[in-house]
Structure 1
């Protein structure tokens, strides 16, 4: 890599040498009297020898949002819609910077930051899979399985309350990003160990210097950098975005869409008249053109999790109620963005549905009458809504959801692994 930080070289070479010889399995312990095994870490004079980073950082801080993410173009028939930009959960004390998100990218893909150096954040949030996991449950550092399916991270910035995990136990993204490191199944560290491992890698001191003004490593700074990187994962270049730019309203026919895709779009956005004369639509729970979870009625920041009628009763997994202790939150789970939904099966918090067809079948005929079923999915008479889609309509919905895949964003170098194998 062409090193842009030559002026830090002398200082941080000495730091990297002092870091060697620690007890962590992730530190480099040179042995001048023995030949290195093929997989042994090799001490480098260049602290960035393991990384492929550009001389000038990628643009993370000033990603241009298209007009349909910054303005509300929905008509009065929609009960609630705000532009995605109004839902931004970025805190004033941790704005996205190019240097901070660059550091976050390295932390996100670094497998050294686990108890045995085998998994990274990206191991359960794969870019090629929409920053989710193709497995129903993700595998931790020692082969154990997570309790729930890995949620996609794209458009995390637009979750209105800023709460994270399926049960919303993290009050902010800055809290969430540290929890997997400390989970005994996922990465198996405590924060002091995380800080030590980070400090012992030659490439981190100059990255921290660039992001924060000095090379001090702390769990708070790690959380800030990771949160900046995750918030930079914004989808703006899907087929939906390209076609949307040609019209003034999301409910107008898109000239660049097929008739089937436009039908699916109408089925998603426009209120559907049910057999009993009542109306419901998919966009009631996937609001704005970021396609994220609903906004609370009080507009203040209470839970926006939803019970979508997967089961008539809650069994082992009580969802958000495990966090809040409130019966009214039983069986509620966070609603993820639908961006890249077609490439990140399986679906739901427990990964029970293997295909989008199965998901649509659920909403078509199988919504269960759970006591906490979301209001938009319950009729005035108290019964669960059943959308009763025809086979043609089901196929159209799948075709539309496919247009939300953002291949350009997911394959962008700035969102992918910077480590040189």
Structure 2
């Protein structure tokens, strides 16, 4: 009899994951199955007390006004990262039952070994529909000091952002009431909420806080670049672990034009390689028609065609590129900035020449190649293989 009950519970769990069965309060998953469902360590992973390299605490970049990386932290005082909170967030992030039919999770569009982005141009929602924009990589979301999220920055905080895809009619398709009811009806969440918040009560506020904690924990600081930077006094000095080509690419990226570089760091600042405070129009088109970018959130004419700039950490893993996924390779991205920037009315200042026209960088093939190989040094293999960021479901 016990074996029969076990098999029935497994069948119900399988059907629930496919969205073919919805359990009520009286039909919760057997708590004895919890260890069969989740692969969580007895001692919680460390999310809250990360030892960052010393270069995250300083700023020696040649572009003025940039703080150290750690000073760009957007964590609110009301939602500091805890190990238990981020652990709960990890389970929620990978749980497909947070979608209407149990077919997609947050992780479906933010894949760990793809830098928490999606290799498809547009992601697929729970019912197979396409998302409006390409999935933005989540690496170093912690270090965007302005704290707004999505390509158009429509979410004022990360806590607000994490709930919106769940409710989106294309992406995950749940109401918040249904979300809470599903989690309440799933036994493996009870101890996770107790550990994170002191009791088993499920609320949308607690769901959003724990998801935000997990996303903020997705930080990169162990790439080839970081190894070289840690052994060097200044970011612009040649790194001993870099090839000549990689050092050339680094110089072109970090130095402003007066010092022989391209000033890329103006839009990809700090050691997190993320824009600290503002979105940018990068001249993808001469005019904006179907997608007006940040303007759709602010109504400010100066924001037409501007989009949030994600961190370049793990960028080599995150093809395709831009908000619409129009570029398939890093080589195409570099060529855009070299020769393809369009004269949009809101084009970012750094991309204009002295007469207000789009800059033409006139890079040699050697320089373009060097930029690409430098960007590949920002890949953090430790992060993209770290178990604490991986799928906890067996």
TM-score range relative to shorter protein: over 0.9
- Give matches, 1:96-175, under 5 Å: 96-175=81-160
Find the aligned partners of 2:121 and 2:87 in 1 and give their Cα distance.
30
Partner of 2:162: 177
Partner of 1:286: 268
Post-superposition Cα deviations, 1:356-389, rounded to whole Å, max 9, x if no partner, equal 0000000001111100001111122111112221
Partner of 2:187: 202
- Give matches, 1:15-414, under 5 Å: 25-27=21-23, 43-74=30-61, 77-272=62-257, 280-295=262-277, 304-414=278-388
> Contact conserved, 2:251 with 2:261, CA < 8 A, in 1?
no
Find the aligned partners of 2:213 and 2:65 in 1 and give their Cα distance.
28
Post-superposition Cα deviations, 1:21-54, rounded to whole Å, max 9, x if no partner, equal xx993427999xxxxxxxxx97452433300000
Post-superposition Cα deviations, 1:236-292, rounded to whole Å, max 9, x if no partner, equal 111111111100111000000000000000010012359xxx984111100001000
Post-superposition Cα deviations, 1:89-111, rounded to whole Å, max 9, x if no partner, equal 00000000000000000000001
Normalised TM-score (structure 2): 0.92
> Contact conserved, 2:119 with 2:318, CA < 8 A, in 1?
yes
Find the aligned partners of 1:242 and 1:395 in 2 and give their Cα distance.
22
> Contact conserved, 1:333 with 1:349, CA < 8 A, in 2?
yes
Find the aligned partners of 2:207 and 2:338 in 1 and give their Cα distance.
44
Find the aligned partners of 2:262 and 2:329 in 1 and give their Cα distance.
23
Find the aligned partners of 2:132 and 2:198 in 1 and give their Cα distance.
39
Normalised TM-score (structure 1): 0.86
Find the aligned partners of 1:215 and 1:279 in 2 and give their Cα distance.
55
User: Which sections of structure 1, spanning at least 5 residues, go unmatched?
Assistant: 1-19, 32-40, 296-303
SS in 2 for 1:45: helix
> Which ranges of 4 or more aligned residues in structure 1 deviate by more than 2 Å?
23-31, 41-44, 46-49
Find the aligned partners of 1:387 and 1:232 in 2 and give their Cα distance.
37
> Contact conserved, 1:80 with 1:284, CA < 8 A, in 2?
no
CA RMSD of aligned residues (A): 1.9
User: Which sections of structure 2, spanning at least 5 residues, go unmatched?
Assistant: 1-15
1:200 to partner: Cα distance: 1.0
